[in-house]
């Protein structure tokens, strides 16, 4: 079950009890931290104490486990200093779990589409294809990409003025827009639209850069030798800031290629490190991630930290995974944005119908087989009953067919 962590409630309660018992040991170090930093610290403690139970779980399952532990800690006696941070930590983990569910559903749709499209697709994507759908892809991907980033950053990021470190106690960073997109939209309705504007701008730039990266991969524009940052900065820009024409669904070849990419991203998102060890199997997915990173450096080389200004596979795994949200969101909405999705959904529905028909056919054959076997058994029983069992041979179904 992709949606639940485990039924091992004993382990969850034991982990919660240990966290509740040991948190007060850190009280002397907490006095200079605000509620956001302490919430992050609690999440990190929950994650650390849960490692032996979550190391083999998918992203959805791990998120579910951590939320259950946080809820269990809230039911235990704990120092008042951790009261509000614990509530915030629990809320963030719940939001993260909800976002993971949405992400899993979208990744599954792309997997179904890839299955419906059939055989491996050749790279097929043009500037004209993407230029016409740019607006609908951006509009769809904005909130999703931000929220998926939030769910993946919940254990290393807290809300606060931008900084790349917090303290010796709390290993993480702060960002002012660390909140779900729906919270930013609510703030905008209440008269404060700053965070919503930042989220929209950051992710619009990110989606366009990612579309450029997809063109790089489709065109086999590989990494060039030499200075990496200089290479990234000089990558060609082919897309504008808005659509060049009315949105038109992508050609079948482009849909098939993007669906294949989406299917790989499903596996990569669920078990990143396992897939990383099988890079060649997931070559398309990791090529797209590398291209997304190249384009990120192109846009942000002036202020990106030095540890980010390196080729994709030289990044830490944590930094590599930060490119997943914008890539998954962009690919999904290239395929499933409302004006484009009718044809794609028809293909999925037709494929599901074919699978149901095959299943019904197989069930019917199995039913016929069972009826034949039952008839054979009855004849044999009656033969034995009247004493002629030794002289009556009942043909088996296999012999009949032979």
Residues 187-234: tens digit of each pLDDT:
999 999 999 999 999 899 999 999 999 999 988 765 555 688 988 899
**Mean pLDDT computed over 321-341:** 86
Cβ–Cβ under 8 Å, residues 26 and 48: no
pLDDT of residue 181: 94
Give residue 356's Cα distance to chain centre: 27
Q: 349 or 31: whose pLDDT is higher?
A: 31
Alpha-helix residue ranges (DSSP H) falling in 226-271:
228-233, 252-270
Q: Mark residue 118 as left, alpha or beta (left: phi above 0; alpha: psi -120 to 50; beta: remaining).
A: left
Phi, psi of 157 (to 5 degrees): -135, 140
Q: How far lies 19's CA from each of 15, 51, 69, in Å?
A: 6, 13, 9
Angle formed at CA 195 by CA 190 and CA 197, multiple of 5 degrees: 100
Cβ–Cβ under 8 Å, residues 196 and 185: yes
pLDDT of residue 379: 56
pLDDT of residue 377: 58
Cβ–Cβ under 8 Å, residues 308 and 301: no
- pLDDT of 370 > 70? The answer is no
Helix or strand run (H / E) with residue 110: helix 83-117
- pLDDT of 78 > 90? The answer is no
Q: Tell whether the torsion through CA atoms of 87, 93, 94 and 99 is positive or negative.
A: positive
3-state secondary structure of 235: coil
Q: How far apart are CA 308 and CA 312, in angstroms?
A: 8
pLDDT category at 183 given cuts 50, 70, 90 is very high
pLDDT category at 162 given cuts 50, 70, 90 is very high
What is residue 80's DSSP assignment? G
pLDDT of residue 356: 63
Most confident of 27-31, 135-139, 281-285, 300-304: 281-285
CB-neighbour burial class of residue 344 (10 A; exposed 0-12, middle 13-18, buried 19+): buried
pLDDT of residue 301: 87
Q: Which of 208, 194, 228 lies closest to 313 in space, CA to CA? A: 228
pLDDT of residue 302: 87
Angle formed at CA 242 by CA 192 and CA 135, multiple of 5 degrees: 75
Please give the mean pLDDT across all residues of the chain.
82
pLDDT of residue 214: 93
Q: How far apart are CA 343 and CA 358, in angstroms?
A: 23
Helix or strand run (H / E) with residue 341: helix 341-385
**Mean pLDDT computed over 113-131:** 79
pLDDT of residue 4: 46
Give residue 301's Cα distance to chain centre: 26
3-state secondary structure of 159: strand
pLDDT category at 392 given cuts 50, 70, 90 is very low
Which of 45-59, 149-163, 260-274, 280-294 has the least mean pLDDT? 45-59
pLDDT category at 46 given cuts 50, 70, 90 is very high
- pLDDT of 54 > 60? The answer is yes
Helix or strand run (H / E) with residue 175: strand 173-175
pLDDT category at 2 given cuts 50, 70, 90 is very low
pLDDT category at 396 given cuts 50, 70, 90 is very low
- pLDDT of 358 > 80? The answer is no
pLDDT of residue 361: 62
pLDDT of residue 88: 94
- pLDDT of 374 > 60? The answer is no
Cβ–Cβ under 8 Å, residues 107 and 269: yes
pLDDT category at 373 given cuts 50, 70, 90 is low
pLDDT category at 398 given cuts 50, 70, 90 is very low
Which of 32-46, 163-177, 178-192, 218-232 has the least mean pLDDT? 218-232
- Tell the residue number behind the tokens 């919503």, with chain if given: 196
pLDDT category at 95 given cuts 50, 70, 90 is very high
CB-neighbour burial class of residue 316 (10 A; exposed 0-12, middle 13-18, buried 19+): exposed
């Amino acid at each position: 079950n992709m949606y639940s962590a485990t039924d091992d409630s004993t382990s969850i309660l034991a982990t919660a009890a240990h966290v509740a018992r040991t948190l007060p040991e850190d009280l002397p170090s907490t006095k200079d931290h605000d509620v956001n930093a302490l919430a992050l610290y609690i999440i990190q403690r929950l994650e650390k104490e849960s490692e032996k139970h979550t190391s083999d779980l998918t992203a959805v399952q791990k998120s579910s486990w951590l939320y259950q532990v946080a809820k269990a800690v809230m039911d235990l006696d704990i120092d008042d200093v951790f009261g509000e941070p614990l509530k915030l930590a629990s809320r963030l983990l719940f939001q993260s779990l909800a976002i993971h569910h949405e992400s899993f559903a979208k990744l599954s749709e792309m997997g179904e589409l890839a299955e419906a499209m059939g055989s491996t697709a050749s790279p097929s994507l043009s500037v004209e294809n993407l230029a016409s759908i740019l607006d609908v892809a951006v509009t769809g991907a904005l909130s999703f990409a931000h929220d998926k980033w939030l769910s993946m950053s919940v254990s290393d990021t807290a809300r606060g003025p931008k900084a790349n470190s917090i303290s010796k106690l709390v290993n993480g960073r702060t960002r002012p827009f660390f909140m779900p997109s729906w919270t930013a939209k609510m703030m905008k309705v209440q008269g404060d639209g700053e965070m919503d504007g930042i989220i929209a701008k950051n992710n619009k730039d990110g989606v366009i850069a990612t579309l450029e990266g997809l063109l790089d991969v489709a065109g086999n524009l590989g990494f060039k030798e030499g200075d990496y940052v200089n290479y990234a900065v000089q990558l060609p820009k082919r897309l504008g800031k808005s659509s060049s024409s009315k949105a038109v669904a992508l050609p079948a070849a482009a849909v098939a290629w993007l669906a294949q990419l989406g299917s790989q991203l499903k596996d990569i998102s669920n078990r990143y490190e396992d897939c990383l060890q099988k890079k060649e199997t997931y070559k398309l997915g990791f090529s797209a991630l590398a291209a997304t990173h190249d384009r990120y450096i192109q846009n942000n080389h002036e202020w990106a930290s030095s540890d980010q200004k390196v080729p994709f596979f030289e990044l830490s795994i944590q930094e590599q995974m930060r490119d997943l949200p914008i890539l998954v969101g962009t690919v999904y909405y290239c395929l499933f944005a409302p004006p484009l999705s009718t044809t794609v959904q028809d293909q999925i529905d037709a494929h599901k119908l074919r699978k149901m028909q095959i299943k019904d056919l197989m069930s019917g054959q199995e039913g016929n087989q069972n009826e034949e076997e039952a008839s054979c058994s009855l004849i044999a029983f009656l033969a034995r009953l009247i004493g002629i069992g030794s002289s009556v041979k009942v043909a088996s179904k296999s012999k009949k067919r032979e």
